[in-house]
């Protein structure tokens, strides 16, 4: 029997899995585009735009764009008012430009000077998209900020750009991130022979106007566990769909100093909060899913994993 689960529910991502683990009901409503009771606040919109603009600027620099070209692209990419500012977290468009200028200065002084941007099909490996086909039509998709390779040793490294208003970073914030482990999917396709890779977190601390780096090595044994966890999430969603219930975790109703956007409505019937996709919307959604640059099935990944495990054992 064909699955009746809405295809939006079946579209997993790193942030989506975080939402699922935080509160399944929130995951369901966000995926089905339920109307939010709280409009996005001013500070959140600036914070969201700031992180994306800094990441984009660094990617463009690796691609060879000049500082003037980068700033122009950032202007067109920035959605809030150009003079909007989150004063508490020290985030604005102009402070994002300062962050890019800071990064360019670091590069001129030798930061990552031995590393080159990888190209895939003659295109730079920045914001590189991938999609994993899972059982029952589920998919996991994501994006890699940048893939770098040491021009002498051939060593491969993933660059992950983050921004934070926290002054003191703790490695535990990033060390076991499932997002970084998922990048092995991309590297498998680009460099089939490697058995491990580094993830370099480049974290811009907005209150200090400075970058801090954290580096972690990921191996394919960690990837094996990640694949199992991904399949467990699919089974969990199938269970929720079969029972017709997505649990509501009340302890997650207030997080990051604000209440959940579905706080006042999540106890209402889902059909009163959401609308099914039209045929046009569904076709557009499927077309978008088909455009991810690297596409692979979970079966292929498991086969690759078994092959790598066999080689490491021998």
Mean pLDDT by 10 residues, the chain (314 residues): 83 95 96 73 77 96 95 93 89 96 96 94 91 95 94 93 89 89 85 86 95 91 89 97 95 86 92 92 90 91 74 54
Whether the Cβ atoms of residue 194 and residue 155 lie closer than 8 Å to each other: no
For residue 223, tell me if it sits in a domain: no
Structure tokens at 173: 């914030």
pLDDT score recorded for residue 313: 52
For residue 82, tell me if it sits in a domain: yes
For residue 75, tell me if it sits in a domain: yes
For residue 94, tell me if it sits in a domain: yes
pLDDT score recorded for residue 258: 82
pLDDT score recorded for residue 133: 95
For residue 107, tell me if it sits in a domain: yes
User: Could you give the number of structural domains in the chain?
Assistant: 1
User: CA angle 109-110-115, nearest 5°?
Assistant: 150
Give 43: exposed, middle or buried? Use CB within 10 Å, 0-12, 13-18, 19+. middle
Any idea what DSSP says for residue 268?
Answer: S
For residue 54, tell me if it sits in a domain: yes
For residue 56, tell me if it sits in a domain: yes
Q: Which of 153, 174, 191, 137 is nearest to 11 (CA)?
A: 137
For residue 128, tell me if it sits in a domain: no
Structure tokens at 117: 């941007």
Give 78: exposed, middle or buried? Use CB within 10 Å, 0-12, 13-18, 19+. buried
pLDDT score recorded for residue 223: 84
pTM for the complete prediction?
A: 0.88
pLDDT score recorded for residue 44: 67
Backbone dihedral angles phi then psi of residue 120, each to the nearest 5 degrees: -120, 120
**DSSP strands (E only) in the chain:** 11-12, 85-86, 91-92, 115-117, 119-120, 123-124, 126-133, 139-150, 156-164, 196-205, 210-219, 254-255, 258-259, 294-297
State the Cα–Cα distance between residues 122 and 288, nearest whole angstrom. Answer: 22
Q: CA-CA distances (angstroms) from residue 110 to 49, 107, 163?
A: 28, 5, 22
Backbone dihedral angles phi then psi of residue 84, each to the nearest 5 degrees: -70, 145
pLDDT score recorded for residue 249: 94
pLDDT score recorded for residue 1: 47
Q: What is the residue range of 71's domain?
A: 40-111
State the Cα–Cα distance between residues 162 and 177, nearest whole angstrom. Answer: 13
Any idea what DSSP says for residue 274?
Answer: -
pLDDT score recorded for residue 308: 67
């Amino acid at each position: 029997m064909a699955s009746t689960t809405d295809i939006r529910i079946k579209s997993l991502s790193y942030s989506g899995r975080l939402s699922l683990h935080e509160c399944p009901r929130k995951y369901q409503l966000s995926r089905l585009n339920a109307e939010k009771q709280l409009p996005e606040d001013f500070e959140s919109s600036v914070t969201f735009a700031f992180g994306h603009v800094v990441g984009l600027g660094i990617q463009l620099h690796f691609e060879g764009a000049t500082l003037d070209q980068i700033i122009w692209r950032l202007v067109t990419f920035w959605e809030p008012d150009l003079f909007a500012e989150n004063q508490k977290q020290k985030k604005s468009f102009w402070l994002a430009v300062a962050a890019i200028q800071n990064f360019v200065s670091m590069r001129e002084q030798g930061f990552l000077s031995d590393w080159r941007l990888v190209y895939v099909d003659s295109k730079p490996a920045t914001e590189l998209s991938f999609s994993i086909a899972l059982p029952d039509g589920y998919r996991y998709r994501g994006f890699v900020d940048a893939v770098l390779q040491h021009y002498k040793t051939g060593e491969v490294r993933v660059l992950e750009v983050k921004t934070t208003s926290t002054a003191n970073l703790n490695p535990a914030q990033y060390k076991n991130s499932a997002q970084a482990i998922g990048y092995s999917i991309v590297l498998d396709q680009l460099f089939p022979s490697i058995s491990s890779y580094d993830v370099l977190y480049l974290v811009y601390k907005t209150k200090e106007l400075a970058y801090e780096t954290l580096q972690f090595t990921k191996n394919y044994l960690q990837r094996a566990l990640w694949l199992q966890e991904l399949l467990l999430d699919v089974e969990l969603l199938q269970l929720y769909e079969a029972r017709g219930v997505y649990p509501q975790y009340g302890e997650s109703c207030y997080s990051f100093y604000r209440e959940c956007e579905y706080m006042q409505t999540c106890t209402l019937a889902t059909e009163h909060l959401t609308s099914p996709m039209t045929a046009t919307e569904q076709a557009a959604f499927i077309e978008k899913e088909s455009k991810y640059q690297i596409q692979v099935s979970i079966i292929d990944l498991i086969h690759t994993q078994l092959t790598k495990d066999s080689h490491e054992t021998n």
